[in-house]
Chains A and B, each alone.
Chain A
Amino acid sequence: MIVRHLLATLAGLLLLLVPLASATPEDEHGHGHGHGQIEPQLNELFGNSTTAGRHTNNWAVLVCSSRYWFNYRHMANTLAMYRTLKRLGLPDSNIILMLSDDVACNARNAFPATVYASAGRQMDLYGEGIEVDYRGYEVTVESFLRLLTGRHEDTVPRSKRLLSDASSNVFIYMTGHGGNEFLKFQDNEEVSAYDVADAVEQMWEKRRYNKLLFTIDTCQANTMYSKFYSPEITATGSSELGENSYSHHSDRDIGVAVIDGFTHYILQYLETLDKSSLATLRDFFNTYDPVRIQSHPGISTSLSSVPPEGLLVTDFFGGVASVEVVPSSAELPALAAGPEASAWRPSPRRGHFNAISAGGEKEDGRFEKAARPSLHRQQGKEWVRPLGKEQGVAWAQGALTALAGATAYVTYLALSK
């Protein structure tokens, strides 16, 4: 009995000692390390991985591939989508809008310089701040595929480029007239599902997207995404093979159909969301109603590693993914900076300030090119040295002046004696 008691106490003591013994060496070096390992794991478990994960910005490509007045609704589809994206916070610089853009100022438009997407004309989609990147005849299959793959001539401006990277979610929306595995571009040419699939594959190879949402509203739309073979694509279309996509309604005064059914209903849903919405793509897809849309919308999620439940609508339709606030320790200590008031100076009056321009006056902040010191110049890499160092020259000038002054004074003294 006694032996057993002794053994039990010993075991208890050992149990108590083990954590102590194992804790001591860790305290020296491994402590921070242990925490460092656990924290990311915890974040992964409990954090919202879709927003805090690998993506920092969103890009959108909106394509209206038809032209002419009777295709008013396609222009309206695209502009309405554009408006929704901007409302949800996507900046214009991240939206590439391809639009034949010939209805707003069409001679047949009874309401010049406007585009409406609803009967009753509640909201002008062609109001302020529409930035069409590819317009009119620039909307071609080639320009679309070049946009996706990034294979531009050097002269193409920034606004016409999709500058996404591995941390960008890309949303592609297309509308127009299509058929089995093709979409017609301006009654002139057509893009096939294979072309789009290959272009997206090239995007993936160059890591031009993190996640991609492909949405298309056209007849037999689901065939257009059937050829995709690259990862991380979620795709949705308005109608099955053999089905037409119908317009939703027309405006009697405009005289043509103003919006397509599929786009109308998805926009109606998106209108209920705001920037901080936590709705997922699953919620979004669940709003599809074949009876109202008059066709069977398709959803393809097999290529995406994340099911639609795991993707937020705002992961594609939203704006900036995150901001980082600088901690106060980064600030210059108030004491070291000195009193603010003493640093500020009133500006000397330079006449009345009369012109306010949004552009502002540009100072020429460019610095001249100068030869950079010897090390790598022979390799033909002429790098710019930002600023010339003139302080030395100024110092020498000052010294010379002082010396001259002193000499003059000494001479003066000598002479005056």
Chain B
Amino acid sequence: MAVTGQDQDDPPAVAAQPRSAITESSKPTPKEVTARINPSSKKRLSILLSFPILFLLAIPFWWYTTSIERLPLPTARIDGLGGVGFPELKTKILLTGDQAAFPTPPPGKAVFELPVILQSLGKEVIRGVDGIYERQRPKKRRTWELVYADDKANPAPLRVHIRRFEHANTSWPLEPYVQPPERGLVTSGIPAGTLVIPVHPDQVADRFLKQHYKIALINSILSLFPDQPPSIPLRALKYSPNITLSFVLLNEDASEGSYVRGWDIEAAVQEHMLPHLEPLKDVFNFTIESQLLYHAPLTFEPTYQAMPRPRNKQIEQALDAASQGNDEAEIVAKELIDEELEKGYIIDEEMMKVFVNSEKWSLDSGSTNNPVLRLLLYVPKETHRPMRLSTSDSAQSFLLPQFGGVVLLNPPSSFPPSEAYDLPLAALAPSFHLFTQHLYSLLALPTLLDPGKIHPPPPASPFHPPSPLWQGITPWQVYQVYLSRGKENAEEAIKTLVGIKRLVAKIREMKVGEGVRGKVNGAVERLEKVSALSTAQSAVENFILTRDAVGLANRAFFDPSMMGLLYFPDEHKFAVYTPLFAPIAVPLILGLLKELIAWRKRRRSAKIRGQADAAHGPEPGVEAGAVVHQVDAEKSGVQSGVGDLDDTGLIEGVRLGAPVDEDEDEDGLAAKTDKTVTSEQRREPRPRVLRSRGKR
């Protein structure tokens, strides 16, 4: 037997008591050997139990590492936001006027103070506007209030001024305009952005002056300040605080000569873009980049055919001007007529859709994840000139929703063919005028010019010609942008927060960590501030709150930690855990079962013995047991058990105690059983019951 041999080679591991037994008897009985090798049943039990205890102890760790952190979200507060949204503000509009803009009453009549006159005019205007709104379906509401005195602490965001102006048009109706910023020594003293109703001194005495004022005021205020902030159309970009503008001049093929080598982009941006971008500094943070491309071939061949472009009106205008002795106009007229007669390379609508080859042309630096608007100035190669759009009565320009705009620029045919051109500011003006309008469309900025209602401002000095360019963005427009973008942002933030709330409830595997909760809380707080303090705060502050709220809500939604846990069906979980735990569990459970049965058996026999002791008298059971045991072992002549020698010395455990038994001799079991039974029988008659039960 391997176990015995091993034991003899390696005695120090064994307890001291059985060692002495070896030295005493030269040949130890198998029982003694097994007694020495095997630990006591208590020890075995503790070894056996250590495994499940380890598992039990590991459960908290396992629980901690496998459970998904799901911090509670402020769902009630999010639900509360739903009804609030972006508040409707009652904007104050300050109405002022020059004293001289109103007629002095004839002697003998009551002279009214200017504020009184303005107030009565204001009342008329409000009544008129309310009347208009009243009649419209669906009903509209006036979102502004006229005030007549400026409150220094809380200045009105918008102003209207009635101005007596020598250079105003002398004819009716009045032509309101929005005051641009003024520079120089001679200024009107009117703050930039004021809506000005100019009146010529000759007109002041008119009988219907008040009616004219009223009409002009109603028309221009309604036009500048609609009942609803403009909604964001699909073609415009969704709000993003950072926007990159990429100005690209594309030469179709510079290798064929006659290409544009340089452009005065800095001056053009300064002149045409900054007046529109700078006042928006609280809304958008613009990054501007520009580049020149020398090779931007088209993926299709434009068709060569006659121009679909009658520009008669412009030609007539130019000819008119020319007949009045304007030399420049003569050249312009000639250019226009030449253009009309020409055949050209036509781009039809299908071609426009595939015109921009964003795959091959690198249209922006790609250095940013912010949205990019690409404003492309395309110079066709010499063999494709002149290039025109097929649509009649259109500018040579088109807009790609949410992407950018394209302007075609054909070098003038009358120009001597040169190897390369430089484009100074003047040559870029028509293109950048179009770019400006693209920008307004793509950013959903409200336009100022409403034909017939708001007029271009007079030039800074009467000696200058009026500028055909768009006036820089005015406070009226910026105010509208605050409102519309604030509304958009508040709605978007609330939608996102509600979305997060719903998703977290719906998808049980979704993690909600500290970071996400912090962002959600931040967004909710900001939105609540918007709602709570709407009356006292200005539009800018509300806008900034919503801007930050939507930023936080988006960052919470797109937080990388919200993902990464996959759905596993229960079968998968079993499939993962079973191969791990089943092999370990089988011996553990069986061992525990065996120990349990042995323990029960021991207890029962201890009870029996106790009863027997009580019946037989005070004979010491231990000795008796030992004797029996000795006899028994000799009689059987087989190794009767490993490790079943417990303190009581009873042998019953043998039958069930240790697995080694069964391995060692197959027929021993039956024999042993009989033997034990006999030994039991010898001691007492009762255990028959037990045996019969065991056999069953």
Interface residues of A (CB under 8 A from B): 25, 29-30, 33, 54, 56-57, 89, 91-93, 129, 131, 141-142, 145-146, 149-153, 157-158, 161, 165, 167, 191-192, 194-195, 198, 201-202, 205-207, 275-276, 319-328, 330-350, 353, 356-367, 372, 375-376, 379, 381, 383-387
Contacts and interface: CB of A to CB of B under 8 A. Distances in A.
Interface stretch (B22-30, B108-116, B141-149, B290-298): B290-298
Interface string B553-580: 0000111101110111100000000000
27 contacts: A56-B234, A89-B354, A151-B560, A158-B369, A192-B567, A192-B569, A195-B567, A201-B507, A320-B400, A325-B399, A326-B398, A326-B405, A327-B393, A332-B433, A338-B426, A341-B415, A343-B427, A344-B415, A344-B423, A348-B422, A349-B419, A360-B248, A362-B289, A365-B291, A376-B544, A381-B544, A386-B278
Contacts of A325: 349, 352, 389, 391, 394-395, 397-399
B210 to A, nearest CB: 19
Contacts of A357: 294-295
B288 A358 contact: no
Contacts of B433: 330-332
B430 A205 contact: no
Interface string B124-165: 000000001001100000000000000000000000000000
B418 interface: yes
B331 A206 contact: no
Contacts of B293: 358-360
Nearest to B283: A383
Interface residues of B, number: 117
A363 B247 CA distance: 10
B468 A332 contact: yes
B558 A152 contact: yes
A57 B328 CA distance: 45
B292 A360 contact: yes
Contacts of A346: 416, 418-422
Contacts of B600: none
Nearest to A193: B567
Given A347-B422, A358-B360, A383-B281, A337 B430 contact: yes
Contact of A363 (B291, B401, B421): B291
Contact of B566 (A141, A339, A384): A141
Contacts of A161: 369
A324 B399 contact: yes
Contacts of B285: 383-384
A332 B429 contact: yes
Contacts of A319: 353-354
B427 A360 contact: no
Q: Which 6 pairs of residues, A with B, have the shortest CB-CB distance?
A: A205-B499, A343-B427, A360-B293, A347-B420, A336-B468, A346-B418
A275 B349 CA distance: 12
Majority secondary structure, B binding face: mixed
Interface in B51-90: none
A385 B358 contact: no
B274 interface: yes
Contact of B136 (A30, A146, A335, A343): A30
Nearest to A392: B183
Nearest to A381: B544
Contacts of A376: 282, 540, 544
Contacts of A205: 499-500, 502-503
Interface of B: 132, 135-136, 234-235, 238, 247-248, 254-255, 259, 261-262, 265, 269-270, 274, 277-278, 281-282, 285-296, 311, 314, 317-318, 321, 328-329, 331-332, 335-336, 349-350, 352-354, 358-362, 365-366, 368-369, 389, 391, 393-403, 405, 411-412, 414-416, 418-424, 426-427, 429-430, 433-434, 437-438, 441, 465, 468-469, 495-496, 499-500, 502-503, 506-507, 540, 544, 557-560, 562-564, 566-569
A356 B274 contact: no
B88 to A, nearest CB: 22
Contacts of B416: 346
Contacts of A334: 311, 314, 317-318, 332, 335-336
A276 B206 CA distance: 61
A314 B500 CA distance: 33
Contact of B418 (A321, A347, A353, A359): A347
Given A158-B366, A335-B317, A353 B254 contact: yes
B359 A93 contact: yes
Contacts of A92: 358-359
Contacts of B358: 91-93
Nearest to B428: A343
A327 B419 contact: no
B519 to A, nearest CB: 13
Given A360-B362, A387-B270, 5 more contacts: A91-B358, A141-B566, A325-B398, A339-B328, A346-B418
A327 B395 contact: yes
B394 A339 contact: no
B288 A386 contact: yes
A332 B469 contact: yes
Contacts of B274: 386-387
B558 A151 contact: yes
Most buried by B among A89, A158, A330, A340: A340
Residue among A205, A327, A360, A387 with max Cβ neighbours from chain B (10 Å): A360
A89 B353 contact: yes
A303 B261 CA distance: 55
Centre residue among A152, A323, A332, A347 by max chain B CB count within 10 A: A323
A157 B405 CA distance: 24
Contacts of A56: 234-235, 401-402
